[in-house]
Amino acid sequence: MSDTTYTVTGMTCGHCGDAITKELSDLPGVRKVDVDVPSGRVTVTSDSPLATEDVRAAIVEAGEYELVAS
Protein backbone atom coordinates (compact mmCIF):
# COMPACT_ATOMS: atom_id res chain seq x y z
CA MET A 1 0.00 0.00 0.00
CA SER A 2 1.04 3.53 -0.72
CA ASP A 3 -0.11 6.73 1.03
CA THR A 4 0.50 9.98 -0.83
CA THR A 5 -0.58 13.44 0.30
CA TYR A 6 -1.32 16.15 -2.24
CA THR A 7 -2.15 19.83 -1.87
CA VAL A 8 -5.23 20.97 -3.77
CA THR A 9 -6.37 24.57 -4.17
CA GLY A 10 -9.94 25.75 -4.69
CA MET A 11 -11.69 23.61 -2.09
CA THR A 12 -14.09 25.61 0.06
CA CYS A 13 -16.67 23.17 1.44
CA GLY A 14 -17.66 19.57 2.05
CA HIS A 15 -19.15 19.30 -1.43
CA CYS A 16 -15.70 20.10 -2.85
CA GLY A 17 -14.19 17.30 -0.79
CA ASP A 18 -16.92 14.89 -1.90
CA ALA A 19 -16.35 15.70 -5.59
CA ILE A 20 -12.60 15.17 -5.29
CA THR A 21 -13.08 11.96 -3.30
CA LYS A 22 -15.40 10.56 -5.97
CA GLU A 23 -13.05 11.29 -8.89
CA LEU A 24 -9.91 10.03 -7.12
CA SER A 25 -11.72 6.90 -5.91
CA ASP A 26 -12.40 6.00 -9.54
CA LEU A 27 -8.68 5.72 -10.31
CA PRO A 28 -7.44 2.11 -10.54
CA GLY A 29 -5.93 0.81 -7.30
CA VAL A 30 -7.24 3.59 -5.04
CA ARG A 31 -8.41 2.16 -1.70
CA LYS A 32 -9.12 5.28 0.36
CA VAL A 33 -9.25 9.06 -0.05
CA ASP A 34 -9.08 11.45 2.91
CA VAL A 35 -9.78 15.12 2.21
CA ASP A 36 -9.07 17.94 4.68
CA VAL A 37 -10.78 20.96 3.12
CA PRO A 38 -9.38 23.67 5.47
CA SER A 39 -5.75 22.66 4.84
CA GLY A 40 -6.25 21.68 1.20
CA ARG A 41 -4.60 18.32 1.84
CA VAL A 42 -5.77 15.17 0.13
CA THR A 43 -4.29 11.81 1.17
CA VAL A 44 -4.75 8.89 -1.20
CA THR A 45 -4.15 5.29 -0.17
CA SER A 46 -3.57 3.06 -3.18
CA ASP A 47 -2.14 -0.33 -4.09
CA SER A 48 0.89 1.38 -5.64
CA PRO A 49 1.98 4.98 -6.26
CA LEU A 50 -0.23 6.85 -8.72
CA ALA A 51 0.97 8.84 -11.72
CA THR A 52 0.82 12.54 -10.87
CA GLU A 53 -0.87 13.31 -14.20
CA ASP A 54 -3.65 10.82 -13.41
CA VAL A 55 -4.22 12.49 -10.04
CA ARG A 56 -4.13 15.96 -11.64
CA ALA A 57 -6.67 14.91 -14.30
CA ALA A 58 -9.04 13.47 -11.68
CA ILE A 59 -8.85 16.65 -9.60
CA VAL A 60 -9.55 18.85 -12.63
CA GLU A 61 -12.46 16.57 -13.60
CA ALA A 62 -13.94 17.12 -10.11
CA GLY A 63 -14.34 20.87 -10.69
CA GLU A 64 -12.49 24.14 -10.36
CA TYR A 65 -9.62 22.65 -8.36
CA GLU A 66 -5.91 22.51 -8.99
CA LEU A 67 -3.19 20.15 -7.85
CA VAL A 68 -0.28 22.17 -6.47
CA ALA A 69 3.07 21.08 -7.90
CA SER A 70 5.13 19.29 -5.28
With a threshold of 0.85, does the pTM exceed it? yes
**Confidence class for position 69, pLDDT limits 50, 70, 90:** confident
What domain range is 50 assigned to? Answer: 2-67
Q: What pLDDT, in 10s, does the model give residues 37-52?
A: 999 999 999 999 999 9
**Confidence class for position 70, pLDDT limits 50, 70, 90:** low
Average pLDDT, the chain: 96
Q: Tell me the CATH number at 12.
A: 3.30.70.100
Number of domains in the chain: 1
Using CA atoms, how far residue 58 sits from 20, 38, 41, 63, in Å, is 8, 20, 15, 9
Q: Are 6 and 23 in contact (CB under 8 A)?
A: no
